[in-house]
Amino acid sequence: MINFDYFLPTRLLFGPGKLAQIGKITKEYGNKALIVTGRSSTKKTGLLDRTVSYLKTAGVESVIFDKVPSNPLTTTAEAGVKLAKEAGCNVVIALGGGSAMDAAKAIAFMAINEGDINDYIFGRKIGTTALPIIAVTTTAGTGSEGDKLAVLTNPENNDKKSLNSPLIYPKVSIIDAELMTTLPRHIIAPTGIDVFCHAAEAYVSNNSNPISEILALKAMELVYQNLPKVYENPEDIEAWSKMAFANTLGGMVIDASGVALAHGLEHPVSGLLDVTHGEGLAAILANWAEYSYESAEEKFANIAKILGEDVEGLSVHDAAKKSINGIKKLLKKLDLNKTLGDLGVKEEHIEWLSNNAVKTMTYAIGNNPRKPELDEIKMLYRKCL
């Protein structure tokens, strides 16, 4: 019998040129905004200045917090909270990719909920409310505009884990593909693979449901058809619009069904070594499929079809196995052929990575169609070196 819950309270404002509405939208929630962004990209493209101008025209003051690194830290959120409180901000704008959105969500949450954010991340405390969040995504990557997750790394012990709270759903998310056409190719490929992983992992996960499965299939199809296009031609606005849609769908499906083992293995890697999340996923992805496909053969067979593999006349088992080839071909198109070893992972790291995966990514590991024991996790890391 079909039995599931599905909830998404975020208003999605989708389409080229929609950034122009940010002043009017933000004014509905507050009159002094903390703009949370990265260190340079939104400045170089002029996006930050445009946003400030739109807000000013609508009568909204703004304060800029531009200290977000590619893998935001719990201390990043703490610094942003300090500024938000000192400036008296009553609304938070996330302006950038997944890192900016994760940091903005955590800042909005901790501006209201006192104490150590790690207590909330590990479920020792539950929040009460948060400042309203307006999300403006500039990449097709994390899908954070469509979920209640904020991924942070604790610099004291390198734990990388999500704050997961319905309080940090954005009130409104602006998905404007025009903002993505200035992305460099070395960002386009790994962020796009993150979209694919969100969809693929949620699709085969133990917690998938009929709605998330439909959305995940569509997201994977859009990534396969359009990620190579925007990688080759970053100015292809039509392909970007479809990638942006895939990205939001990916956020929605992990919000509903969660990630699985590929993310479970990658988070410790980027937590420890500060590697680019999408590159870490790319180094793991094919081995994840090889390990998992026999436990969800029909779904992996569908993934193989989406990735352009010829499965006509094959058994479900053999069709599912073809998903591994499809993944490898897609990664080759995107020049994402690095191993974990290429990214700096060494044999001496495997013990820590494996134990940290079990500690911080329990949900993702258990959500995989085939759940590994600790020795299997170590084996998978070694295969990815």
Q: Nearest 5°: phi and psi at 351?
A: -60, -50
Angle at 130 between CA 112 and CA 176, to 5 degrees: 135
DSSP 361: -
Positive or negative CA dihedral for 159, 161, 163, 165? Answer: negative
Res 7: pLDDT: 83
| Residue type (1 letter), 89 | C
Count the helix, strand and coil residues of the chain and give each as a percent rounded to the nearest 5. 60, 10, 30
What is the C-alpha separation between 274 and 148, in angstroms, rounded?
23
Res 1: pLDDT: 64
Give the CA-trace dihedral at 343, 72, 254, 171, to 10 degrees. -150
Res 141: pLDDT: 86
Length of the chain counted residue by residue: 385
Q: Nearest 5°: phi and psi at 312?
A: -60, 125
H helices of 258-310, in order, are 261-273, 277-292, 297-306
Q: Are 219 and 198 in contact (CB under 8 A)?
A: yes
Angle at 28 between CA 25 and CA 31, to 5 degrees: 100
What is the C-alpha separation between 89 and 33, in angstroms, rounded?
5
Q: Are 42 and 98 in contact (CB under 8 A)?
A: no
What is the C-alpha separation between 318 and 251, in angstroms, rounded?
30
In what helix (H) or strand (E) does residue 254 lie, and over which residues does it extend?
A: helix 237-257
Per-residue pLDDT 10s for the chain (385 aa) are: 677 777 889 999 999 999 999 999 999 999 999 999 999 889 999 999 999 999 999 999 999 999 999 999 999 999 999 999 999 999 999 999 999 999 999 999 999 999 999 999 999 999 999 999 999 999 998 899 999 999 999 999 999 999 999 999 999 999 999 999 999 999 999 999 999 999 999 999 999 999 999 999 999 999 999 999 999 999 999 999 999 999 999 999 999 999 999 999 999 999 999 999 999 999 999 999 999 999 999 999 999 999 999 999 999 999 999 999 999 999 999 999 999 999 999 999 999 999 999 999 999 999 999 999 999 999 999 999 9
Angle at 177 between CA 183 and CA 208, to 5 degrees: 100
In what helix (H) or strand (E) does residue 378 lie, and over which residues does it extend?
A: helix 374-384
DSSP three-state, residue 93: strand
To which residue do tokens 């903002």 refer? 179
Residue 274: half-sphere exposure toward Cβ, Cα within 13 Å: 8
Res 6: pLDDT: 78
Res 142: pLDDT: 87
Q: Nearest 5°: phi and psi at 258?
A: 85, 165
